[in-house]
Amino acid sequence: MEQGKKYSPDCYYVPNGVDVETFVRKKDEKFDRSKKASGPILGLVGTIDDRIDLDLILYVVEKIPESTVFLVGPVQTKLGDLRQHPRLIIAGKKGYEEIPFFINQFDVALIPYRVTEVTKAVYPVKLHEYLILGKPVVSTNLPEVTQFSDVIWVTKSKNEFVNGIRNALKEDDAVSRKKRIDTAEKNSWEKRVNQIESILARYC
């Protein structure tokens, strides 16, 4: 939007949303965790590429040894030491309607992006997909997620990220889950379309 306004004042910001119907319909679907992992499950959904801080994930695995980390999505970067780690499960690319199946099983959902000039403009689609299922979320300090710091843990260092996960595991409750779901519902794709229609109406 900021770049577009250099060429025209008629630029508007409409961020990502969430398909509430699809995710709510599948909110009770889970896999048998006894066959996959022990301890709390920490999960990331999305493309695993150079935007993801793999060093941070390795740090989490080492500092929370009772946990298992799931990476759900296509891998488009070298995982190095992570690939063979016994407490890291690489689920690979999944169909859109399979995503809730994994998120439902997460005890804490992760947004471990590196903070760079590129990711400063990232608004993760996964954020509201996590929230609509009531999951506690721990994120690095991306500018676009700081506006949700009342419902997620936004962290500025590896140590803060680990502490955020530990706090999320301890402080998850029904009231917090409802607040997360309410936040996601306010950011549905339906509301995004209404926003676009409202903008277009000014020019009709």
Task: Categorise residue 50: left if φ over 0, alpha if ψ from -120 to 50, beta otherwise.
Answer: alpha
Q: What is the pLDDT of residues 16-62, one digit of tens each?
A: 999 998 888 877 766 555 456 778 999 999 999 999 999 999 999 99
Predicted confidence at residue 34, as pLDDT, reads: 47
Place of tokens 């549905």: 188
Contact 114, 99 (CB under 8 A): no
143 located within any domain: yes
CATH classification at residue 76? 3.40.50.2000
113 located within any domain: yes
Spatial distance between the Cα atoms of 188 and 2, rounded to a whole number of angstroms: 24
Domain tally for the chain? 1
The first and second tokens of residue 86, run together, are: 């016994």
pTM: 0.91
The first and second tokens of residue 172, run together, are: 């998850």
* Per-residue DSSP letter, 190: H
CA-closest candidate to residue 10, choices 22, 18, 19, 1: 1
1 located within any domain: no
10 located within any domain: no
Residue 120 CA neighbour count, 13 Å, CB half: 4
Predicted confidence at residue 155, as pLDDT, reads: 98
Q: What is the pLDDT of residues 78-130, one digit of tens each?
A: 998 888 899 999 999 999 888 999 999 999 999 999 999 989 989 999 999 99
Return the ∠ at Cα 130 (arms to 127 and 131), rounded to 5°. 85
6 located within any domain: no
Element (H, E) at 50: none
64 located within any domain: yes
The first and second tokens of residue 49, run together, are: 């590429």
Strand order across the beta sheet in which 41-45 lies: 88-92, 68-72, 41-45, 108-111, 137-140, 153-155
Q: At 129, which amino acid appears?
A: E
Q: Which domain holds residue 137?
A: 15-201
Place of tokens 């949700």: 148
47 located within any domain: yes
Residue 127 CA neighbour count, 13 Å, CB half: 27
119 located within any domain: yes
